[in-house]
Amino acid sequence: SKAKLFDENTDVKTSFKDVAGLEGAKEEVQEIVDFLKTPEKYTSLGGKIPKGALLVGPPGTGKTLLAKAVAGEAKVPFFSLSGSDFVEMFVGVGASRVRDLFKQAKEKSPSIIFIDEIDAIGRARGKNAMSGSNDERENTLNQLLTEMDGFGTNTNVIVIAATNRADILDKALMRAGRFDRQIFVDLPDIVERKEIFEVHLRPIKKAEDLDIDFLARQTPGFSGADIANVCNEAALIAARKGKKAVNKQDFLDAVDRIIGGLEKKNKIIT
C-alpha cells in the first residue's frame, strides 16, 4: 500500500483564539488570511500575492498551530506534510510526490500547504557529501522551487513552511517569490506563558489553590508544547490519586516531571 504523502484537512477548527501569545507573528499571518480571503482586493492595483512564508523558531513554540489557525481563520483547506517523513518515506519519488501535492492544493485553492521541518528537504545543496548521495533530496527541493515559481498570479495557494534551523536552509528558498517572508516564533516570556496556561487550563477541573501567575513563574524556558504537556500531566497525576480537581501540588509534580524529561532529552543530544 502507498504510504500517505500528506494530510488534507478541509474543515480546520483551529483559530487564532487557540494560539496564545505570539502577537507579532499573529499580526503577520493575519495578512496571509486576508490574501486568501480577498485576493482581488490585493491584486487590483497590480500587486502579486506572496507565495510563501517561513515560520522560524524553536521546537514546540506553536508554528504548526499558527499555520493551522491561518487555514481555520481563512476557512481554506490545509495540506500538511513533514519534511523529515517526506525524505525518509519517498526515496526515488519525492519530486513526483511534490507535484501531486501542489496539483491537489491548486485544485482546492484557495488553500494552504504547510511543510514542517522544511530543513530536511531544504538544506543547502551540495554541502553534505559525507552522507553519500543527496540527489534525491535535491530533486525534491528543486521540484518544490519549480512548483512555487510556476504558480500563476491568481493561483492563491500559499505555502507556509516551518523550521528551527533557518541558518542551514538553501538560500534559493528565501529568494523573492518563494519564502521571502520570515516570521519569528519565539519561546514565550512570562506573560505569554500565562496566556498559554490559560488556553490549556480551559478543559481542566481546577482546584481553588491554582494560581496561574505562579505557574508562569515556575516555567521559564518552557515552550507552548511543554506547557500543554504540564497541564495534561497534572490532570493525569490528580486523577491517578483519585482527586476531584487538579491542584497546585499536582502542577508542581507535573513541572518536575517535564523538567526531568527535558534534561534527559538534552543529555541524549550532548
Provide the annotated binding site for ATP: 57-64
Residue 225 or 245: which CB sits closer to ligand ATP?
225
Q: Name residues contacting ligand ATP, limited to 149-168 (CB under 6 A).
A: 162, 164
CB atoms within 10 A of CB 190: 11
Which one among 12, 51, 52, 62 touches ligand ATP, defined by CB under 6 A?
62
- Cβ of 46: how many Cβ atoms within 10 Å? 6
At CA 141, angle to CA 179 and CA 95, rounded to 5? 130
Nearer to ligand ATP, 59 or 177 (CB): 59
Taking CB under 6 A as the criterion, which residues in 226-245 touch ligand ATP?
A: 228
Contact between 174 and ligand ATP by CB under 6 A: the answer reads: no
Site string for ligand ATP, 68-107 (x = CB under 6 A): ----------------------------------------
CA distance 179 to 201: 35
Output phi, psi for 111, to 5 deg.
-155, 170
Residue closer to ligand ATP by CB (options 84, 249) is 84
3-state secondary structure the chain: CCCCCCEEECCCCCCHHHCCCCHHHHHHHHHHHHHHHCHHHHHCCCCCCCCEEEEECCCCCCHHHHHHHHHHHHCCCEEEEEHHHHHHHCCCCHHHHHHHHHHHHHHCCCEEEEEECCHHHHECCCCCHHHCCCHHHHHHHHHHHHHHHHCCCCCCEEEEEEECCHHHECHHHHCCCCCCEEEECCCCCHHHHHHHHHHHHCCCCECCCCCHHHHHHCCCCCCHHHHHHHHHHHHHHHHHCCCCCECHHHHHHHHHHHHHHHHHHHHHHC
Question: For ligand ATP, which is the closer residue by CB, 116 or 147?
Answer: 116
Minimum separation from the CB atom of position 164 to ligand ATP (A): 6
Nearer to ligand ATP, 116 or 250 (CB): 116
Among 199, 207, 212, 236, binds ligand ATP (CB under 6 A): 199
Q: Using the minimum distance from each CB to ligand ATP, give the nearer residue, 142 or 164.
A: 164
What residue number has its CB nearest to ligand ATP? 224
Under rule CB under 6 A, residue 196 binds ligand ATP: yes
* Assigned C-alpha cell, 45: 492595483
- Residue 12 makes contact with ligand ATP by CB under 6 A: no
Shortest separation between residue 79's beta carbon and ligand ATP, angstroms: 16
According to CB under 6 A, which one of 224, 231, 233, 238 is a site residue for ligand ATP? 224
Name which position in 116, 119, 147, 170 contacts ligand ATP (CB under 6 A).
116
Q: Which is nearer to ligand ATP, 63 or 194 (CB)?
A: 63
Q: How far is the CB of 142 from ligand ATP (least distance, A)?
A: 24
Task: List residues near ligand ATP by CB under 6 A.
Answer: 19-22, 59-65, 116, 162, 164, 196, 199, 224-225, 228
